[in-house]
Amino acid sequence: MNRTAPPAVELDGVTRRYGETTAVEDLSLSVQEGEFFTLVGPSGCGKTTTLRLIAGFEDPTRGTVRFGGESVTGVPPEDRDVGVVFQNYALFPHMTVGENVAYGLQFSDPPGGGSDEARVRELLELVDLGGMADRDPDTLSGGQQQRVAMARALAPGPDVLLLDEPMSALDAKLRERLRVQVREIQQELGITTIYVTHDQEEALAVSDRVAVMRDGTPEQVAPPRTIYREPATEFVATFVGDNNVLSGAVTAVRSADAPDGSGAERGHPIADVTVDGTTLSVALEGDSDPAAVSSGDRLTFCVRPERLAVDADRNALTATVTSAEFLGETTRVHLEWEGRELLLRAEDPPTGTVTVGFAPTDAHIVDRQS
């Protein structure tokens, strides 16, 4: 990706209203050339509206959409040089697979100056559908239809590929296989791609960066590992994967260079936080400024279920197993501690009463109130 060039796609203070309803609110995002960028969030969060604003199917009530630094606000979809794959694929049933792929070439010559037929063959090979040009769409599986729709969107050689939940109708195993293929195609072509999904796992698996949307605006924009390991807000922490969120009052802050070493946790200061009468130690790291945390503050922090350890002696909590879900590689164990639910991931799930704990550095702070 060329970080010195203007963003491939930029939304600057974009708002979209429908009467009294606001679907997107003062949204600013930049997508770099060749980036795989994903919008993820619950239903009604504004992710599909954002994609439609980029495609030109909707006009912003306020704000500007730019491609390569140039405003495209008001430019119709057919003049934006984008390819779109819809949730329902929208294949033409009266056309063959090859005719569907070639449809976009009626309005634009194939990139590189080759023939339409050569471009169709090239793309069908790219999506592993070589030799199927004469098939009818209704004779294909859902996964094959999805790949035809992608080939059709790619045929004119668009600068930007937009994918609107293209795998939502497929079964889980096929989704996993196709998302890998979509990512491989995107990397091979180097095409800027903006993907919309409600599936958090899918977003983490394929993206260079992810925007977690809520109420028409992003709560956090970051690489997948950062989204998962360092959620910026409680909403992100609970929406993206399982999490244990705890909140309590700070009773002490211990410096990392305390003379007796009591504050050191891999070089990080420690905050002692009382949660339901139990004092837990939380490392102050990353964006948490130790000087900004003091006794009496209220901290909200999260601990991923896989970071809880059975029979741990750090931050030990005595809990009761209420149920367990076998997931194959691991088991999700539901625990009750002080009237609240905790989640544990374990290969060998415990039963009855169990002690679980976590290292102070495995806790991530998502909110602080003075």
User: Taking 50 as the threshold, does the pLDDT of residue 213 lie above it?
Assistant: yes
Q: What is the mean pLDDT of the chain?
A: 91
Would you state the structure tokens that stand for residue 311, as one six-digit string?
A: 């029979």
Assign 108 a pLDDT band (cuts: 50, 70, 90). Answer: confident
Nearest to 160 by CA among 268, 83, 77: 83
- What average pLDDT score do residues 248-266 get? 70
Assign 287 a pLDDT band (cuts: 50, 70, 90). Answer: very low
Q: Which residues of 8-25 are buried (b: 16+ CB within 10 A; e: fewer)?
A: bbbbbebbbeeeeebbbb
User: 221-233, pLDDT tens digit by residue?
Assistant: 999 999 999 999 9
Q: Where are the domains of the chain?
A: 9-239, 244-369
Q: What is the pLDDT of residue 5?
A: 82
CATH architecture classification, 244-369: Beta Barrel (2.40)
User: 18-51, pLDDT tens digit by residue?
Assistant: 999 999 999 999 999 999 999 999 999 999 999 9
Report the alpha-carbon angle 292-295-296, nearest 5. 105
Task: Read off the pTM.
Answer: 0.90
- What average pLDDT score do residues 174-182 get? 85
CA 142/CA 148 separation, integer angstroms: 10
* Percent of the residues in the chain that have a pLDDT greater than 70, as a whole number: 94
Q: What is the pLDDT of residue 174?
A: 80
Give the type of residue at 133.
Answer: A
Q: What is the pLDDT of residue 264?
A: 53
Kindly state the DSSP code that residue 268 receives in the 8-state scheme. Answer: B
CA 338/CA 231 separation, integer angstroms: 25
CATH architecture classification, 9-239: 3-Layer(aba) Sandwich (3.40)
